[in-house]
Structure 1
Amino acid sequence: MKQKVESEQDVASKKCIIADYYANHYDELKEFVISRLQVVDEAEDIVQDIFVRLLQSDQMISPVTLPCLVYTMARNKVIDYWRCRQQHEKYEHFIRKGCWINSSSEGVESIFSAREVNEILERGIAQLTESQRSVYRLNLYEDMPVRQIAVVLNLKYKQAEKKLGVARKKVRGFVEKALAG
C-alpha cells in the first residue's frame, strides 16, 4: 500500500513539474519551434503534443531534466515535420510530373482515385512478412511510435525499428512501381 501511495505522489509531483514548466516556458518553446518551422499553427500543435506526451510518459522527470527533455523532443518533432514535408513534396512532384496527367481529353478519369491508391498500398502490404505487416499497420493505421509497437508486439525496440524500416522501403518501392506503370 505504501508503494502505491508513493507512486501516486510521484505522478502528482511529475504533473506539477510539467504544469509549472508549461506555464512558465510555453511561449519560449513555441518561439523556438516557430524559428525552425516558420509555421505558427504547426508550432503550436507541436508544443501541445510535447506536453501531452510528457504527461503520458513513464519517464522519470525532474525540474533539472525537464528543459533538456522538452527541447530534445521539440527538435525531434521539427525534424519529423521537415522529413514528412519532404516526402509529401517528393510524392506531390511525382504525381504532378506523372505521364498520366496531360492536357488531353483524358482529364480526371486518368488520375488514380483514393480507392485505387489504397488498393495498391494494400497489395504492397500483403507482400510483407507477417511480422513486418503487423509493425507497418500499427505505425500507419494506429499511428503508433516504434517504442509502443515494440511493447504491443513484444519485440525489442531495435527489432521493431528495423522491421518498420524494411517494411516502409518495400511498400514504397511497390507503390512507386505500381503508380508509375
Structure 2
Amino acid sequence: MTEPEVSKRLITDYYRLHVGEVKAFVLKRMDYSAESEDIVHDIFLKLLESDKIVSAVTLPCLVYTMARNMIYDYLRHRAVVEEYEHYIHKVSGKLGEAGCSSVYSAVDICEILERGMARLSAGQRSIYRMNVVEGMQVSEISECLHENYKSVENRLGIARKMMRMYMRRMLA
C-alpha cells in the first residue's frame, strides 16, 4: 500500500472508533446538534481529501485541532449573522411600513460592491475577488498567482480595509 492509502485507511479506522468522541467534543462546545454533526463530517471529509501523510500519533491531535478551529469559525460566523439580524430588525422597526423602500436591495448592494472593487488596484481587486467571491483561502490564492503568501495576505488586508471604508460611506 502507498503512503496516501495508508493515511486514508488510518483516517477511516479512526473515524469508526472515535466519531462518537469527536461529536461529543464538538457538541459540548456548541449546543447545536445538527451543526456539530456537520462539523465532524467536514473534519473527516477534509482529512480524506487531503493528500498529506497522517500518522497514528498525529491524527488525534489533528482531528481535535481542526474541530476546535471549525467551532471557532462557526461561532464567529454565527455572532456576525446574529448581529446583522439584530441590526436589520432594529432598522426595520425604526423605518416602519413607509420607510422600507429606503432599505437597500441585494442588487443595490452588489452594484455598490462592484463600484468599490473597481476603485481597488488590479492586483488587490483580483485577490479580493478570489477571496470574497470565489471563497479561496490566502494559501490557495498565493499558489494560483505564484506569489508570496505574506504579499497576498497583505494586499488582501489592504483591499478589505478599503472596501469596508467604502461600503460604510456608501451605505450610511
Aligned amino acid, residue 26 of structure 2: V
Distance in 2 (CA, whole Å) between partners of 1:119 and 1:32 is 43
Larger RCO: Structure 1 or Structure 2 (Cα < 8 Å, ≥ 6 residues apart)?
Answer: 2
Of the candidates 110, 113, 119, which is equivalent to residue 121 of structure 1?
A: 113
TM-score (norm 1): 0.84
- The residue that corresponds to 2:59 in the other structure is 66
Question: The residue matched to 1:106 in structure 2 has which SS?
Answer: helix
**Counterpart residue type for residue 109 of structure 2:** V
Kindly state the Cα deviation for residue 150 of structure 1 after the two structures are TM-superposed: 1.5
Aligned CA RMSD, in angstroms, stands at 2.1
Describe how 1:1-181 pairs up with structure 2 within 5 A.
9-98=2-91, 101-107=94-100, 109-180=101-172
Query: How far apart are the structure 1 equivalents of 2:124 and 2:86?
Result: 28
Measure, in 2, the Cα distance between the counterparts of 1:56 and 1:46. Answer: 15
Change beyond 3 A, Cα 1:138–1:173: same
Segments of 5+ residues of structure 1 without an aligned counterpart are 1-7
- d(CA) in 1 for partners of 2:158, 2:133: 17
Identity of aligned residues (%): 47
Q: TM-score, normalised by structure 2?
A: 0.88
Residues 4, 51 of structure 2: 8 Å contact kept? no
Post-superposition shift, 1:97? Answer: 3.7
Amino acid at match of 1:55: L
